[in-house]
Amino acid sequence: MQDNFSANFANLSHLDSQGQAQMVDVSQKALTIRQAVAAAQVRMLPTTLAAIQAGNTPKGDVLATARIAGIMAAKQTANLIPLCHPLPLQKVEIQIIADEQLPGYQIQATVKTKAETGVEMEALTAVSVAALTLYDMAKALEKSMQIESIRLISKTGGKSGDYFPPTGTSN
């Protein structure tokens, strides 16, 4: 029984031979430049979007606060996601763009490092926390806002190669 169990978990990097979660040993991997881009959106009423755009919100600058929160979140990913490695981040860029068609905001995070492992989780954490902060900063205007479509847009570098979503998927 144990042999079958071990064989089933042999190819899963975050599980040991007993099926228990473990942090992957990346010490033998080469330092390479790695970048990930993630996105999310926050859907809201047109009146909420207009108030944020006008700077007419009770808590202050919604977008600047969300941008800083996203940057801070990327830097704290290893403290939030149990099996993530702490990484030296060389770049964290957060873009928050008004989208009247949504209506709401499109959020994108670009994270870059030179390390043994990738930064997908840092980019995803950054957009998630930026979206949550945008919600928090504007919830006095509207509690029905929706955080949607948190996703990886691209990843470059590393052993597994580059990733771009298949053609025809919405990003």
Q: How many structural domains compose the chain? A: 1
Is 162 in the active site?
Answer: no
Does an H or E element contain 33, and which?
A: strand 32-43
Indicate which CATH number applies to the domain containing 148.
3.30.70.640
Q: Which amino acid is at 165?
A: P
Rounded Cα distance between 141 and 49, Å, is 10
Q: Is residue 32 part of a domain?
A: no
Q: Is residue 152 part of a domain?
A: yes
> Is 85 marked as binding a ligand?
yes
Phi and psi at residue 71, to the nearest 5°: -65, -50
Q: Is residue 16 part of a domain?
A: no
Rounded Cα distance between 89 and 110, Å, is 11
* Active-site hit among 3, 25, 99, 136: 136
Task: Give bridge partners of residue 94 from the DSSP assignment.
Answer: 109
List the chain pLDDT tens, one digit each, 171 residues. 444 544 454 565 666 667 777 667 677 777 899 999 999 999 999 999 999 999 999 999 999 999 999 999 999 999 999 889 999 999 999 999 999 999 999 999 999 999 988 899 999 999 999 999 999 999 999 999 999 999 999 999 988 888 898 876 655
Q: Is residue 87 part of a domain?
A: yes
Q: Is residue 60 part of a domain?
A: yes
Rounded Cα distance between 168 and 8, Å, is 34
Q: Is residue 167 part of a domain?
A: no
Give the model's pLDDT for residue 1. Answer: 44
Say what the pTM is: 0.85
> Is 83 marked as binding a ligand?
yes
> Is 31 marked as binding a ligand?
no
42 with 131: CB under 8 angstroms? Answer: yes
Domain that holds residue 79: 48-157
Q: Environment class of residue 166 by beta-carbon count within 10 Å: exposed (0-12), middle (13-18) or buried (19+)?
A: exposed
